[in-house]
Amino acid sequence: MAELLADEPVDATILDSDLVYEGRVWDVRSDTVAYGDGQIVRQYVDHPGAAAVVAVDDEGRVLLIQQYRHPIRHRDWEIPAGLLDVSGETPLETARRELAEEVDLVAASWEPLVSIFTTPGGNDEIVHLFLARGLTPATEVHAREDEEADIRLEWLPLADAVAGILAGRLRNGFLAVGLLAAAERLRQADPRGA
């Protein structure tokens, strides 16, 4: 039975939708929804979605980046990621672009890992995570500004990064889900190496 469990889309009738705040990256909406025998009002962040990359080199090391994130007042460890904010661009194309723009790398091999809702009680963001391998330097080096201007890069054995997640030292959600999914995918591909 557990193998058959899946999230279930619901086409609830939106009776009213108000733009509460229009932001540079995302908006805040307030929707009145017909649900059950009544109505509910919910405010949420209306988000364009994102793509994220677990980049693993030939030595089994994963690329982590560290950058300042103002809402949490931390320079947290993350994986390369970016918004689905280019019209017509697929999540895979966004992942390729972000790998090149954030860390000046291209990958020969791309594999979808998982797609996740980040905070379903507070926003509609979906993040598509990909495993990238066969890494080589990009032909172009990208200029970086704001939080990306002082990104720190670190190559870490995947098993050590997973241990950091489980120990509570690495708490970024994209990183945690992406690395755990990649570790399992790689274990399934080569159970002897796990």
pTM over 0.85: yes
Q: What is the pLDDT of residues 106-131, one digit of tens each?
A: 999 999 999 999 999 999 999 999 99
Pull the structure tokens for residue 65.
């980046």
Model confidence at 4, pLDDT cuts 50, 70, 90, reads: confident
SS3 81: strand
Cα angle 161-107-25, degrees, rounded to a multiple of 5: 75
Q: Judge whether 148 counts as a catalytic residue.
A: yes
Catalytic, out of 89, 101, 111, 148: 148
Residue-wise pLDDT for 34-54, tens only, equals 999 999 999 999 999 999 999
pLDDT in tens, 10-21: 999 999 999 999
Residue 54 is predicted with a pLDDT of: 98
Pick the CATH number of 50-189 from 3.30.70.360, 3.30.465.10, 3.90.79.10, 3.40.50.300: 3.90.79.10
What residue spans in the chain does CATH classification 3.90.79.10 cover? Answer: 50-189
- CA geometry: angle 21, 88, 98, nearest 5 deg: 80
- Quick: pLDDT tens for 53-97: 999 999 999 999 999 888 888 889 999 999 999 999 999 999 999
Lookup: tokens for 59: 């030595």
